[in-house]
Amino acid sequence: MSKYEINELYGSDSENRHLKTLLTDLGERTLYDAAAQCNRCGYCETVCPTYMLTGRETLSARGRNQFVRLLVEGKAKNTHAAAEALSTCLLCGACTSACYAKVPTADIALEGRRSLSGYGENFFSKIAVETLLKAPNLFALWLKAAYLLKRLGLARLAEGLGLYNFIGMPALKDAQNSMGRPPLRFASEILKKNQALAQKGKTSAAWAYFAPCGPNYIFPEVALATVRNLKKYLGDGIFIENSCCGLLAHNYGRLEDAREFAKKNILRYEKLTGSLGKFAVIGDCSSCVAFMKTYEQLFTGNDEWRPRAAAFAAAVRDILEVIPPEKVKRSQKAGTAGKVVYHDSCRACHGQGIRLEPRAVLKKLALERWRELPESDWCCGGAGAYAFTQTAMSNAILERKLTNIASTQADTVVVGATSCLIQLNSGLKAAYPTAKAVHYSVFLDNFGKRQE
Ligand code: SF4
Ligand code: SF4
């Protein structure tokens, strides 16, 4: 069987498999109408990494939108090519940033992808998502077992036992080289015990920290740095004790599970606002934050959850956008970071329009060692599990990013998403080991002080 197949063409779906409508910049649209907004002008072609690398029309935003239209109409003759086009989209959103009509090609491609045969039906990802949803402690236990074996130098055993498959992260075994020492205590465990972040006795809070799975399970030092920064620059807050945002389930075709994750987080937020009043929900992985800002899209139609999801989404913020630069002072040791550049994670710049805010803070910290990274808003090729499912394309995209980084002679590359952190450090380690990627929260925590 070919690698790519579409057995069930779009239109014969159930509502559990596809979003009912898409919330576009021009209003609420069916998938077909959203794709039909693409007038094929080609204005976005030069910003689409997969098109620029291959020169293939089918791997551009215009090509992908056209395929989805044909699939809905039942006129797609070459379903293999359609499946390849939809599978290789990075979902980066660069095309939408460049598009006058703001056609949401990433959402459209993902909806098309839900029609691929077997999409969302992988046994292990089903078990993993369900465990994360219904028994997160068991999920954490599996992950710790895999990490422990890795620490003991038995990573292959963890792989052989299927531990990575069971946690739905077969990619993690490949990502391990760029992870450093895997944590055996997760951020949520540490933060739950932190009295300063407890809700008890509080009548208000400026913010609630939301721990995305990356900072929670892979880089707890990022989560802890975020919390220290929030306290230092924004005042008192709490840990929201959240569930996974649902992005993993959403992108792997398990829409109903994604809705369940969203409902859990919305309920938690509503309960806390009852006693604390309104507060910002702040996360530190741009992919998860951007997804939570679109929770309303999960519940379009007459769903009673829709306004509740919209209220939650309106409270969500990215750590990249909330630190006031006027409150930040450079610490003495900031010079040790060397030349500093900022890589715009796709879901920060294209997904949330965040570009200026982190730069304002970083420029204050880096001073004359700040450099602007050419093509800083080009995807690094990480894109969730893309680096492991589309390895050749991902490597080619990463190579372009590394060339741009090398052209600035940067020592530190600041990022805002877990996937970029893994992808860039993996590439830098191999090709440009004098530089390293650091999360924005960690950089600010290390080199910033509060301006009194
Ligand atoms: S997605 Fe937008 S910019 Fe790209 S071809 Fe379609 S209308 Fe033009
Ligand atoms: S989301 Fe990214 S990879 Fe996909 S069509 Fe748009 S620019 Fe290209």
Based on the fold, state whether residues 261 and 359 are members of the same structural domain: no
Q: Locate the ligand 2 atom nearest the alpha carbon of residue 64 and give its number.
A: 5
Q: What is the pLDDT of residues 141-192, one digit of tens each?
A: 877 777 776 766 656 655 655 555 554 555 555 555 556 677 778 899 899 8
The encoded tokens of residue 328 equal: 């930040």
Closest residue by CA, ligand 1 atom 6: 38
pLDDT of amino acid 83:
87
Percent of the chain with pLDDT over 70: 88
Which tokens in the block code for residue 359?
């730069």
Alpha helix locations (H) across 277-417? 286-292, 305-315, 319-322, 346-352, 356-366, 386-389, 391-408
Whether 9 maps to a domain, the answer reads no
pLDDT band at 1 (very low <50, low <70, confident <90, very high): very low
Residue 2 domain flag:
no
Q: Which atom of ligand 2 is nearest to the CA of 60?
A: 5
Please check whether residue 257 lies inside any domain of the structure: yes
Residues 88, 133: one domain?
no
Of 61, 80, 113, which residue sits at a domain end? 113
**One domain for residues 181 and 202:** yes
Which residue owns the Cα nearest ligand 2 atom 7?
48
CATH code (residue 28): 1.10.1060.10
87 & 170 share domain = no
Per the structure, how many domains does the chain have?
Answer: 3
CA of 381 to the centre of ligand 1 (A): 22
Its domain, for residue 204, covers 125-321
Q: Mark whether 84 and 146 lie in a shared domain.
A: no
Residue 6 belongs to a domain = no
Same domain? For 200 and 154 the reply is: yes
Nearest ligand, measured from the Cα of 66: 1
364 and 428 assigned to the same domain: yes
Coil vs helix vs strand at 28: strand
User: Are both 106 and 223 inside the same structural domain?
Assistant: no
Q: Is residue 166 part of a domain?
A: yes
Asked if residue 120 belongs to a domain, the reply is no
- Under 8 Å between Cβ of 120 and 253: yes
Q: What is the CATH number of the domain that holds 338?
A: 3.40.50
Among 302, 321, 340, the domain-final residue is: 321
Pair of tokens at residue 322: 């909330």
* Residue 129 pLDDT class (50, 70, 90 cuts): confident
Q: Global pTM?
A: 0.91
Express each pLDDT in 3-52 by its tens digit.
555 545 444 445 567 888 899 998 999 999 999 999 999 999 999 999 99
Does 42 contact ligand 1 (Cβ within 6 A)? yes
Cα–Cα distances in Å, from 265 out to 208, 212, 439? 12, 12, 24
Beta carbons within 8 Å of 208's beta carbon, 6+ residues apart: 237, 238, 239, 240, 269, 272, 279, 280, 281, 282
- Residues 380, 423, single domain; the answer is yes
Name residue, tokens 């808003």.
377
Nearest ligand atom owner, CA of 64:
2
Say if 37 falls within a structural domain.
yes
Same domain, 129 and 101: no
The reply to whether 175 and 297 lie within a common domain is yes
Domain final position from 67, 86, 113: 113
Higher pLDDT, 452 or 25: 25
Which of 45, 46, 48, 110 to mutate to test ligand 2, by most ligand atoms within 8 A of the CB atom? 48
Q: Which residue has the higher pLDDT, 245 or 78?
A: 245
pLDDT digits (tens, 9 = 90+) for 266-289: 999 999 999 889 999 999 999 999
Same domain, 381 and 286: no
Inform me whether the pLDDT recorded for 401 exceeds 90.
yes
**pLDDT of amino acid 10:** 47
Q: Residue 146 domain-assigned?
A: yes
Per-residue confidence (pLDDT) for residue 3, from 0 to 100: 52
| Alpha carbons 127 and 130: distance in angstroms, whole number | 5
User: Looking at ligand 2, which residue's alpha carbon is closest to its atom 6?
Assistant: 95
Q: How many angstroms separate the alpha carbon of residue 114 from the centre of ligand 2? A: 17
Contact indicator for 71, 115 with CB cutoff of 8 Å: yes
Cα of 99 vs centre of ligand 1, distance in Å, is 5
Q: State both tokens at 120.
A: 């969302």
Q: What is the mean pLDDT of residues 420-429?
A: 91
pLDDT higher than threshold 50 for residue 425: yes
251-269 residue pLDDT tens: 877 888 899 999 999 999 9
